[in-house]
């Protein structure tokens, strides 16, 4: 049986579901999404924190450069150490992205904090594995929104953590299933969620679509479907990972399809394609007073 730290128990106990008739206080990123849809703006989300040569994925150094590029969202992968620390790492083993080897399961934060991160070409860097608190501190100073991809963290734990850290306006949470989305919105219906493209099932499950955006996947774009969703007051997101080719075309196509959030690997090329950091930051500022 896995032992849960006392601090984690206290967090979970403090995070209780809201009643059906409680007013919904939407977090700032959910309100901003409405503005992006209404103004026709397309925002960038940096996949795995926007790694590049010398900049590892899920690293503070990588996150720190995003704001100047006009990137608003940083998608990061969140795991839980054996002693209850939430930290950033994508894989369930250390081999690909760190100086360590072997599985992560069972490692304490003391074990993990000693490691260094490698960039995506396998070269070692001075970056360490960051905690989620580290990433939140950076987000507060750079106006980033952290898009949390939960790898080994429950709905109850992440919502409790967000509340404890007063971070509702700094995050969005990725829900891969209707059940996951419903579990999170049962605890806080105002948190912004990325949700699967099944509106009827989401509504039946009690998901607040006014605090959600629809994930359309990584396949071909469907501008007609995105227009339909926009007319219903819903925002959409796509991943261009499989289509990025060094040109501006995929990003411009997504913008022309009125996609509100475009998830990319090549943040520098994507930023230039959409007008550069100054133009993107002006659009962000217009919707995030």
Domains of the chain, residue spans: 24-287
How many angstroms separate the CA atoms of 12 and 4, rounded? 10
Q: What token pair was written down for 103?
A: 């599985």
Write out the chain's pLDDT in tens, 289 residues: 233 343 443 444 445 444 456 679 999 999 999 999 999 999 999 999 999 999 999 999 999 999 999 999 999 999 999 999 999 999 999 999 999 999 999 999 999 999 999 999 999 999 999 999 999 999 999 999 999 999 999 999 999 999 999 999 999 999 999 999 999 999 999 999 999 999 999 999 999 999 999 999 999 999 999 999 999 999 999 999 999 999 999 999 999 999 999 999 999 999 999 999 999 999 999 999 7
Task: Decide if domain 24-287 falls under CATH 3.50.50.60.
Answer: no
Q: Which two tokens stand for residue 252?
A: 């411009």
Q: The whole model's pTM is what?
A: 0.91
- CA–CA distance, 148 with 90 (Å, rounded to integer): 11
Is 86 within 8 Å of 156 (Cβ atoms)? no
Per DSSP, the three-state class of 247 is coil
**Residues paired with 86 in a beta bridge:** 80
Cα-atom radius of gyration of the chain, to the nearest Å? Answer: 18
Cβ atoms of 184 and 159 closer than 8 Å: yes
Say if CB 111 and CB 93 are below 8 A apart. Answer: no
The answer to whether 264 and 251 are in contact (CB under 8 A) is: yes
């Amino acid at each position: 049986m896995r032992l849960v730290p006392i601090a984690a128990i206290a967090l979970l106990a403090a995070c209780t579901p809201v009643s059906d008739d409680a007013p919904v206080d939407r977090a700032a990123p959910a309100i901003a999404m409405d503005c992006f849809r209404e103004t026709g703006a397309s925002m960038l989300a940096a996949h795995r924190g926007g790694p590049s040569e010398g900049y590892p994925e899920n690293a503070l150094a990588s996150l720190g450069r995003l704001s100047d590029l006009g990137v608003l969202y940083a998608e990061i992968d969140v795991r839980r150490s054996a002693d209850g620390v939430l930290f950033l790492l994508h894989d369930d083993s250390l081999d690909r992205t760190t100086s360590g080897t072997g599985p992560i399961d069972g490692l304490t934060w003391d074990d993990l904090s000693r490691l260094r991160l490698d960039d995506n070409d396998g070269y070692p860097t001075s970056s360490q594995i960051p905690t989620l608190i580290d990433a939140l501190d950076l987000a507060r100073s750079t106006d980033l929104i952290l898009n949390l991809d939960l790898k080994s963290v429950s709905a109850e734990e992440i919502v409790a953590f967000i509340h404890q850290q007063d971070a509702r306006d700094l995050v969005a949470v990725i829900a891969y299933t209707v059940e996951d989305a419903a579990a999170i919105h049962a605890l806080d219906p105002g948190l912004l969620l990325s949700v699967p493209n099944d509106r009827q099932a989401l509504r039946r499950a009690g998901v607040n679509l006014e605090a959600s955006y629809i994930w359309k996947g990584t396949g071909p774009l469907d501008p007609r479907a995105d227009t339909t969703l926009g007319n219903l007051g819903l925002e959409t997101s796509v991943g261009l990972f499989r289509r990025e080719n060094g040109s501006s075309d995929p990003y411009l196509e997504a913008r022309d399809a009125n996609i509100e959030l475009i998830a990319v690997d090549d943040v520098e090329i994507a930023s230039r394609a959409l007008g550069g950091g100054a133009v993107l930051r002006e659009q962000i500022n217009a919707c995030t007073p």
